[in-house]
Amino acid sequence: MVKILTTFLCVYLISFNSWSQIDKPDKDAKIWDLVKYDAASMLGGVGYAYSRPFHWEGDDLLTLGGVAAGTFLLYTVDDETSNFFRKQNEDIPGLIKDYGWYYGSPQNNYAITGAVYITAVLTKSEKWRRTGVLLISSSSAAGFLQQLAKTVTGRARPGEGRKKNDFRPFSKEAGYHSFPSGHTVLAVTNAYALAKHFKNPWIKGGIYAVGMIPPVSRLWEGAHWLTDVALSVALSIATVEAIDHYLDKRYETPYPRKKNKMSWNLKLGPGMIGISSTF
């Protein structure tokens, strides 16, 4: 894994240094010029996202603390929530479960994001090009981090009697690759990035709802704990937000952005406990 990480960083640095000086293309630019500029934006976005933790302060640290506190609360009920979701599995329509699996798979994810970007380039739509760049760079950045974290943490999956506190770092067994959830990272990253393209709250809500099917499907299947999914959602949102801010400097059509932060709320009631995340 260390060799893979080193190779990735070397390729990134070489590519970024050679492409970062490309001038912004004008509206009459050729398709190849657009592609070169967008590729540099993707590389720059990934690097910017990875560098953000070194610049966190104030509200960023408060948000981090809120995510940590919410995750701890979820961890206390990981066994109960896992049992609950797994019991629902047989009642879920096969079409929904199939969608959850296939949409969250890397090959299908990049087929969709690639199609969005190619269409944007061919039509020379800057706003859709920006969306395509945001989709691809966010998925790449978050996807690489989740693959690295899976190996380093080695958390056991809920199935086969494993416990929530069972960790085997650097294990090669698939049963110890629970955290984070790859399907959640890719699906939520795509949904959150794509929703930024639209102003209509109903369209945004629909995109978010569809994007949450893969994460929930992994809970039904017993492939992940609720804390795996929750932290994966937080990782996805943080990555998209970082790269989106970076792209404001690269494109003329920034998305409207609210000054809001992720927050976690504990809900207690007769016979129930719940955690909600607002962003």
CA distances from 35 to 132, 164, 177 (A): 11, 45, 35
pLDDT tens-digit map of 216-275? 999 998 899 999 999 999 999 999 999 999 999 888 866 665 544 444 444 434 344 444
Strands (E), 101-176: none
For 50, the token pair is 């990875």
Residue-wise pLDDT tens digits, 159-200: 777 889 999 999 888 889 999 999 999 999 999 999 998 888
Contacts 24+ apart (CB under 8 A), 252-255: 252/126, 253/126, 253/127, 253/130, 255/196, 255/197
Take residue 86 and report the two structure tokens written for it: 């797994």
Yes or no: say if 168 and 96 are a contact pair by the CB < 8 Å rule. no
Cα distance between the two ends of the chain: 33
The answer to whether 78 and 227 have CB atoms below 8 angstroms apart is yes
Cα separation, 269 vs 274, in Å, equals 9
Per-residue pLDDT band for 92 (boundaries 50, 70, 90) equals: confident
Could you give phi then psi for residue 250, rounded to 5 degrees?
-105, -20
Residue 178 phi, psi (nearest 5): -80, -35
Residues 52-91 have pLDDT tens digits of 999 888 888 888 899 899 899 999 999 999 999 999 888 8
pLDDT value of position 268: 39
Q: What is the mean pLDDT of the chain?
A: 83
What are the tokens at 140?
């790449």
Q: What is the pLDDT at residue 269?
A: 40
Which of left, alpha, beta for 174 (phi over 0: left; psi -120 to 50: alpha)?
A: alpha
